[in-house]
């Protein structure tokens, strides 16, 4: 469909090979950041992680972490109780099942506690440049406002976007995240500044 192709081209043109705003130095830090970022802002995660990674600099130290100590480092993060438990379980599983090496395929990543499809895809997108789509709240909102999907779940929305866009999915995912975060916001979207305004028929449109 011509309109969908235009949307894709405009995303790629306006966001030049975008990357996540999460700050990490290695694969271990990336997976921890992505797990913490679920239903929490990247900005908040970036405030938490410097001290967290000083205390737990690698997967082994995280696997051996004391639960209440770990919670104290991430308590300003949403759902920190669950996340702390999952982080330790994830780290233990990596040490026990994968010789301390975080796996880089979807099936094995999803076998880890706290790692669903979205988290697995974001890790593979950011670390490997994998041709995957991942749907968070921003991507979900943007894809529905632009009538790219009418699906009720993130997983089904991901299927729609993957079918429509086919390639460059890693860049399109991050472009849609940033677009949803700063332009096509949940409240008061910046429609007058939007490069997709002429292609948008959303009821939320503000002109």
Residues catalogued as catalytic: 118, 136
Neighbours of 68 (CB within 10 A): 8
Q: Contact at 8 Å (CB) between 82 and 36?
A: no
Distances (CA, A) of 16 to 69, 120, 177, 178: 40, 23, 14, 12
Q: For residue 16, give both structure tokens.
A: 């030049």
Using the 8-state DSSP alphabet, how is residue 111 labeled? T
Q: For residue 26, give both structure tokens.
A: 């290695």
Q: At what angle do helices 42-55 and 67-74 cross, to 10 degrees?
A: 140
Give dist(CA 135, CA 88) in Å, integer. 25
Planar angle of CA 184, 126, 169, nearest 5 degrees: 60
Give dist(CA 130, CA 31) in Å, integer. 15
Q: Contact at 8 Å (CB) between 112 and 119?
A: no
Give dist(CA 89, CA 83) in Å, integer. 10
């Amino acid at each position: 469909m011509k309109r969908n192709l235009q949307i894709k081209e405009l995303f790629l043109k306006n966001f030049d090979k975008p990357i996540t705003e999460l700050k990490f130095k290695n694969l271990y830090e990336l997976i921890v950041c992505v797990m913490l970022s679920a239903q929490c802002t990247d900005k908040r995660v970036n405030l938490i992680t410097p001290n967290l990674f000083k205390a737990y600099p690698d997967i082994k130290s995280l696997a051996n972490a004391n639960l209440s100590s770990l919670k104290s480092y991430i308590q300003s993060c949403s759902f920190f109780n669950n996340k702390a438990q999952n982080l330790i379980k994830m780290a233990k599983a990596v040490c026990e099942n994968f010789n301390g090496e975080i796996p880089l395929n979807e099936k094995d990543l999803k076998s880890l506690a706290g790692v669903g499809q979205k988290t697995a895809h974001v890790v593979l997108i950011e670390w490997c440049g994998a041709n995957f789509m991942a749907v968070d709240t921003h991507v979900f909102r943007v894809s529905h406002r632009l009538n790219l999907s009418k699906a009720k779940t993130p997983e089904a929305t991901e299927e729609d976007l993957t079918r429509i866009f086919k390639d460059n999915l890693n860049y399109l995912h991050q472009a849609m995240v940033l677009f949803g975060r700063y332009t096509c916001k949940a409240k008061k979207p910046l429609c007058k500044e939007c490069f997709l305004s002429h292609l948008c028929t959303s009821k939320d449109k503000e002109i």
